[in-house]
Structure 1
């Protein structure tokens, strides 16, 4: 077999648009169609499958190294072909598991010169590290972008060259990683609200193992949250809960119900706890499949598989504790007034008409506003005065008066003032003071309590110029300025618990949320724990992309983002009815309704949704 035949092969699958009609044809290996060679990391699209080719008889050391690296990029979850390049002992002990090292591009390989024993050559493989996926399937960007390095030791076994020292994890280029893996949210609880925990699972099913995406994701959910999120969330599943022994795969029945058999650890849970368990599963599997899942039923470990409990979509929505659906979108108009627009006007055939918000902010001599945030119940507004030095909390329901004193005051110069505020779902108010002499992140408990300065670990001298707390209240997105660049980080919000009732709220473990972008200009939380980020890559143009909170990029981007100014963008976090994306452009406030194009709706700036 020549070197070309030893390259990995690609077999094109049935086109996605006709899968429903050709299920039978796709169920087995195609008997015709294109088969072609591909180098590892060539950037193959997700509609093809890559299969490694076993080592040829008497293959040289260089060919073994090349074939092994290509076989690691195959769609075989068990890596059976890749194992054929290893010694018998290495094949048995190799456990890459779910751990993945993600490189910016492919691996470079070269023989190590000057080895004492030519009968046991070593090859060095290197690449630029982009991220790592740990044993919990969680993605972690590499902040330093260091070099990956590994040595492959080759030995003779049965007169064939084989590798004795394979890498500890899978090593994939970014394009191979995106082809093989897909993002999905697991869900856990924090303060009575569901929290999205992003992980990566293999896209393709393995009929001989538990590697189909649904079963793999459920197993990951049962194993617990990612290390980064674990300090602030909890699972309703008792410790040690797993799928019942012998469960090969999970699937839906004809009534769109997913039945999940559990082991004996879940036998004695109460009904309220059981329903929370089922809610975690329902939201997790719906996020994975994107299909209609009406119900989840948990089953006991007994022979009859009797029911523990079940929840339907309506039950789960109540248990999930999500904020109410917003009725309005808000912004500051050209008269420096806080105004709002009914979201029913989001359709293209209706003309949105802004109106002043009710309450003291609509008096004949209105308070002049620089920026604002509206609570999730839309009953209070937090507004920063036009000079940027005072943060006021104002009622938007009933009869009220404008407060005389701000809840937070900045002593900074004209340009170093308070950033736009943000509410969390617990009703706390957050704001950053950009005064270089007294910088800091402040939290106002309940929007009325005494302001508390929040410790932010890992700022390293950078200034907070914008912030947004997530709806679940456990994450905060911080737009930071330092070293001539504006970057986006996400931190974990840690609150006092029963064991630390006298402690203070802090932000821990900042991690890059848009490492691909050299400069970030605006951001907003979006549905399913994601971020919409406006910025530019090094040397690139302005673009708006959806990012996972772990810093990995989703393929979806917004059209026409080059027209957005570097000021603000807003997205509703509501996961029910789709709402328009709102931006600040040169023409004022622009809306991007679902499935439509950008359109100007009013003059103004600083657009926000409740939150």
Structure 2
């Protein structure tokens, strides 16, 4: 194994000694190899060094991996570690992100094997796919060119250490529309830092959604072409399009909302407003100025929640409200139904709480789903041996549950239960928890399988022809967590998870992106014991049950619902959507 420090680390150490300061990453995804990294990687402006004279095969491979941490197009320094033929043909498209504690070992003369913890891969469109449990192994063959070792057979794509990836790449959401065209839906992409992000992300939107999401969203920009680069002057981005239909007016508002929500995330440079040109003429939908902002398209907000959507929870089967524990209106607040779980939907666009659904456990066994108007009478709509807690989304008035661990069922307000096909569910195990994303396009599912209770995210696909609904492409997003007990959508693109701490075998909260990137612990300071259930929603303070009472997260610390007051007893917290 090579013990020579990497060329990047040597240069960084010299510079840091001169300035007398250093910084380290403040967060990192949970990985299987937990030894602290030995290299410092924080300064974006530092470029890798070319091969050192007389470097050993292991040192060449080590430094080739370091050389991936470059913002220069086509990675010319990395190509210097390759033979001339390999340097000519090697493609640097795509990234394998690995942990910092990797090993390079000479297995045969001129052959070096790299072993690492694979965190995930990024494809040519900037889509991240989290890696399942396992070890990354890559074999390199080297030969001597003019007395210096060089790599002959690099596989396509970069191998990049996780801190380098965090340092050089930004997560930027490409936004598409949910099937009702009420909200924009995030599709995370990872773009190299720098001024080209505005053009790149618009190109990604025009290309379309990532494969897992594609069937569940609409893309009004499909078939449109971008004329030149996106220009940014001050805080204003200008996007010039061509190729829209002869009568594009029905699409103009949707396209504008899509572009504005996508571009306003950028801070290199920061973009405040967007001018959209169609064949050179400004696009000005009714009532919207030429310089468009997210405020002009607030109705498409992916994380909008009802203004009066306060937290709710259950106490002895009765529905209570946050923060004072007052009974919710109607029989449910009086405990008439003995609920064990509940969910509430709001009207669009008023935001008034309108749809209440909940489950109760029957004395003779089994469970019943009830539904009705918020504040009014509930009626039984579905029975089974077991039912998961119901879930709702903001874009449709319907509840979803898992029946008997294997069947996904949706119940439209005022309508009969409808089956939801889930073709990949049966092969994974038994599901006992499902949570729809706020936009209704994704569903998080907890499944008990051979490797424990794991978290999956699938895409909701609705047919316009026959009205059928399918939950497709269930994929693990937190494979290092095998003891998941609850999950909720912190916003449209990230999840809060209660899961087992592998090191200490206790339940703690985690945050993770919808694509599996950025798994990190959430503080537990203030909690009296392990949390057992949670309730989250965009822009709302997370709630958990711990010690049979309700706690909320405020400023990194869990506290009682009324700071300084006694904790209120309760279970199964949630927020309306």
Which category of TM-score, normalised to the shorter sequence, fits these structures? 0.7 to 0.9
Q: How does 1:48-63 map to 2 (within 5 A)?
A: 50-57=46-53, 59-63=55-59
Select which of 76, 80, 84 maps to 1:80.
76
382-391 or 40-49, which deviates more: 40-49
Q: Partner residue of 1:493?
A: 460
Distance 1:434 1:516 in 2: 26
Are the aligned partners of 1:12 and 1:33 in contact in 2 as well (CA < 8 Å)? no
Distance apart, 1:572 and its partner CA: 1.7
Partners of 1:219 and 1:609 in 2: CA distance: 36
Match of 2:104 among 109, 112, 119: 109
Q: Is the counterpart of residue 336 in structure 1 residue 317 in structure 2?
A: yes
SS at match of 1:592: strand
The Cα shift of 1:462 comes to: 1.7
2:382 corresponds to? 408
Alignment check: 8 A CA contact 2:302 2:492 kept: no
Q: Over residues 405-461 of structure 1, what are the superposed CA-to-partner deviations in whole Å (9 max), with x where a residue is unaligned?
A: x11101x2xxxx2221011221121011236xxx422111x2232212222233325
Shift of 1:284: 1.9
Q: Which runs of 5+ in 2 are unaligned?
A: 25-35, 285-289, 348-352, 563-567
Equivalent residues of 1:588, 1:600 under 8 A apart? no
> Where does residue 118 of structure 2 map in the other structure?
129
Cα shift at 1:599? 2.0
1:323 is displaced (CA, Å) by: 4.9
**Alignment partner of 1:33 out of 12, 19, 27:** 19
Q: Does 1:431 align with 2:421?
A: no
How much has 1:491 moved relative to structure 2?
1.0
The DSSP-based 3-state class of the residue aligned with 2:443 is strand
Matched, 1:482 2:478: no
Q: Which moved more, 1:167-176 or 1:370-379?
A: 167-176
In 2, Cα distance between the equivalents of 1:517 and 1:554?
10
Counterpart of 1:200 (choices 174, 190, 199) is: 190
| 1-structure distance, mates of 2:9, 2:48 | 6
Shift of 1:42: 3.7
Contact 2:527 2:551 in 1 (8 A): no
Shift of residue 81, structure 1, vs aligned partner = 1.2
Q: Displacement of 1:402 after TM fit?
A: 4.1
Report what 1:168 is aligned to: 156
1:604 aligns with 2:570: yes
What's the CA shift for 1:181? 2.5
Counterpart of 2:239 in structure 1 is: 260
The one-character-per-residue Cα deviations of 1:5-61 (angstroms, maximum 9, x if unpaired) are 872247779xxxxxxxxxxxxxxx99953699x9x9646454565431112345444
SS in 2 for 1:458: coil
Counterpart of 1:549? 514
Distance 2:232 2:519 in 1: 26
**Change in 2 beyond 3 A, CA 1:461/1:138:** closer
Residue 549 of structure 2 is aligned to residue 588 of structure 1: yes
Q: Which residue of 1 aligns with 2:32?
A: none
Indicate the SS of the match to 1:280: helix
Highest relative contact order (Cα 8 Å, sep 6+), 1 or 2? Answer: 2
Contact 2:306–2:576 (Cα < 8 Å) also in 1: no
* Mapping of residues 234-249 of structure 1, within 5 Å: 234-239=218-223, 241-242=225-226, 244-245=227-228, 247=229
Provide the residue aligned with 2:216 in structure 1: 232
Per-residue deviation, 1:231: 1.4
Rounded to whole Å, the distance in 2 between the matches of 1:510 and 1:103 is 24
Q: CA RMSD in A?
A: 3.4
User: Would you say the 8 A contact 2:493–2:514 is kept in 1?
Assistant: yes
Pick from 456, 463, 487 the counterpart of residue 422 of structure 2: 456
- Structure 1 residues 287 and 173, CA, compared in 2 at 3 Å: closer, same or farther? same
| Aligned equivalent of 2:95 | 100
Q: Is the 8 A contact 2:331 2:377 kept in 1?
A: yes
What SS class does the counterpart of residue 182 from structure 1 fall into?
Answer: strand
Aligned residue in 2 for 1:422:
391
Are the counterparts in 2 of residues 214 and 288 from structure 1 also a CA contact under 8 Å?
yes
CA distance in 2, matches of 1:519, 1:552: 19
Q: Which residue of 2 aligns with 1:307?
A: 282
Q: Relative to structure 1, is the Cα distance of residues 538 and 6 closer, same or farther in structure 2, using a 3 angstrom cutoff?
A: closer
Match of 2:532 in 1: 567
What is the match of residue 21 of structure 1?
none
Partners of 1:175 and 1:30 in 2: CA distance? 17
Equivalent position of 2:287 in the other structure: none
CA 1:129–1:402 in structure 2 vs 1: closer, same or farther (change >3 Å)? closer
2:499–2:509: 8 Å Cα contact kept in structure 1? yes
* TM-aligned CA distance change 1:69 to 1:298, over 3 Å: same
Distance 1:130 1:585 in 2: 32
1:17 is aligned to: none
Using the TM superposition, give the Cα deviation of residue 606 of structure 1 relative to its aligned residue in structure 2, in angstroms. Answer: 0.8
* Equivalent residue number for residue 202 of structure 2: 218
The corresponding residue for 2:27 is: none
Residue 355 of structure 1 pairs with residue 326 of structure 2: yes
Q: Number of aligned pairs?
A: 539
Aligned to 2:28: none
* Maintained 8 Å contact 1:109/1:123: yes
Structure 1 pair 297–338 and aligned structure 2 pair: CA distance change class (3 A): same
* Distance (Å, rounded) in 2 between the aligned partners of 1:267 and 1:451: 40
1:9–1:35 Cα contact (<8 Å) kept: no
Structure 2 residue 339 is matched with structure 1 residue 369: yes
Change (3 A) 1:44 1:455: farther
Aligned partner of residue 238 in structure 2, secondary structure: strand
- 1:201 offset after TM fit, Å? 1.9
Contact 2:533/2:545 (8 A) holds in 1: yes
Structure 1 residues 456 and 238, CA gap change in structure 2 (3 angstroms):
closer
